Every structure is written in structure tokens, then in C-alpha cells.
Amino acid sequence: MQYRRSRSDHSFNDPSSEAGKEAILARSSEPALGASSAPGTTTLLTAADVTRVVDRMAHQLIERAESTREGDQTGGLADLVLIGIPTRGAPLARRLAARIEAFSGTPVDVGTVDITLYRDDLRRRGVRALEPTTLPEAGIDDSVVVLVDDVLFSGRSVRAALDALRDVGRPRAVRLAVLVDRGHRELPIRADYVGKNVPTSRSQSVKVHLTEVDGADEVLLADHGAGQGDRA
């Protein structure tokens, strides 16, 4: 059945599906560390690296936030809403919010927006199970939304997320934060906050593992021939 295959059957070297990150889902029950010892796989970020990168991004978000309302004592953080793109963008957004609060003392609104119903590749990829969409109770009107995702590749997921946001409210501005930018954009989209830039070839895949989803934190770079994930 298509929806069951969809998570693992697309090609890792096809950026239009933002593949490589979702593909891991299908094996999320396996010990994540096992993958790092596989041949042709190198570790881009260790668990400690992930923590450090997230901390740095949190600092950057605090620094670049701007007050636009009189009387705002939070340096603009009160207007910030972190919206994660499922699957791994969602826990990433929560982590960033937690670190921002830890560093600044200001709680930040968090949400998720599922982009499945906004994708432009349904005909090619088959249907997928939907992920939750949760928005702050106050909504996102006039806030500064930061979309959070794990890997930025073609930019099509971000495009879909922007479309989804348009239907749920009218933020004052939308920014983009990603843990890894691996290049190969197909749309005029760039990230405002990048944890790590990684030059890759299209035949490689970037796998982000997060404790909340995969049981451990790490980012891997895998070479792919016609191996796994290429059944599409």
C-alpha cells in the first residue's frame, strides 16, 4: 500500500522530496548508533555536537529577535513562535524553545504544522500518513514565525510549510531555522538560522537522528549507490 511504503520508498538522492530525513523514520526502532558504523557513513554531528549547535541557534534567535511593540520587555521574544515541520522539526522546535527560555527566561510559543496536504509531489510519491498540526492558542497573527526543520535540501518542504502557514494566519514575518543545510536548492529559499552547512553530493543522504524520535542524537552523512531507499 502506498502510504506504508511512502516513507522509505523515495530516493535519497532526489532532493524534491526532502528525502533522506524521512527515510530514517522507517527504521526508527533500530538502534540509531548502529547506522554510524555502516560502511560509507560518516558522522557529521555527534550527540554533543547537536546539543552545542542547538544552543548556538537558540542564542542566535535571542540575539536577532527585535521588539516592535512598545513596552515589550522580552527583546522581541514575546512575538516569536517556533513552528516545527514534522517529523523532526517538531522536537527540534521544542528544544530550541526550551533553550531560549533557559537562556533568556522568556517562554516562547511552539507549534507544528503538517505539510503533507500541501505537498506538490503527491502524485509522484503517493499518500502519506498525516502528522499533527498544533498552533499556539493565540494563533500566529502578527507574530514572528520561525519555521524549524532538520534538513534543508530542495526547499520544497519549506515552500509547502509557507503555504500551510498562509492558511492558518498572517504572521508579521516568517524565518527559517534548520539544523543542517545540505545545499541543492530547487526554489529561491534560504535559511536564516543554520546549525551546520554541509556540502553534499546528490547521491548522498543526510540522516538526522533525534532522541525524541530515534532514541539518540546524531547527524550522519551516508553514501548511496542503488542501495536502500532507492526503490521508488
Q: Are 203 and 34 in contact (CB under 8 A)?
A: no
Query: In whole angstroms, how close is the CB of 185 to other proteins at the nearest point?
Result: 22
What DSSP element (H or E) covers 56? helix 47-64
Query: In whole angstroms, how close is the CB of 87 to other proteins at the nearest point?
Result: 13
- The stretch near other proteins (CB under 8 A) out of 13-21, 125-133, 144-152, 185-193 is 125-133
Query: In whole angstroms, how close is the CB of 184 to other proteins at the nearest point?
Result: 23
Query: In whole angstroms, how close is the CB of 133 to other proteins at the nearest point?
Result: 4
Return the C-alpha cell found at 150.
Answer: 532538520
Task: Rank residues 54 and 135 by Cβ distance to other proteins and give the closer one.
Answer: 135
Interacting residue with other proteins among 102, 122, 173, 226 (CB under 8 A):
122
Nearest to 178 by CA among 205, 204, 161, 158: 158
Nearest to 177 by CA among 100, 93, 121, 110: 93
Return the C-alpha cell found at 112.
Answer: 507544528
Size of the site for other proteins (CB under 8 A): 23
Q: Name residues contacting other proteins, limited to 164-183 (CB under 8 A).
A: 167-168
The binding track of 131-150 with respect to other proteins, each residue x by CB under 8 A or -, is xxxx----------------
Q: Are 215 and 47 in contact (CB under 8 A)?
A: no
Q: Are 132 and 39 in contact (CB under 8 A)?
A: no
Query: In whole angstroms, how close is the CB of 121 to other proteins at the nearest point?
Result: 9
Q: Are 131 and 114 in contact (CB under 8 A)?
A: yes
Interacting residue with other proteins among 12, 118, 153, 193 (CB under 8 A):
118
Return the C-alpha cell found at 15.
Answer: 532532493
Interacting residue with other proteins among 21, 88, 99, 125 (CB under 8 A):
125
Beta strand 173-181 with 193-197: parallel, antiparallel or unpaired?
A: parallel
Cell 546524531, residue? 218
Q: Are 8 and 17 in contact (CB under 8 A)?
A: no
- The stretch near other proteins (CB under 8 A) out of 12-20, 21-29, 151-159, 162-170 is 162-170
Angle at 206 between CA 201 and CA 209, to 5 degrees: 175
Query: In whole angstroms, how close is the CB of 162 to other proteins at the nearest point?
Result: 12
With binding defined as CB under 8 A, does residue 163 bind other proteins?
A: yes
Residues at the site binding other proteins, with contacts judged by CB under 8 A: 1-4, 114, 117-119, 122-127, 129-134, 163, 167-168
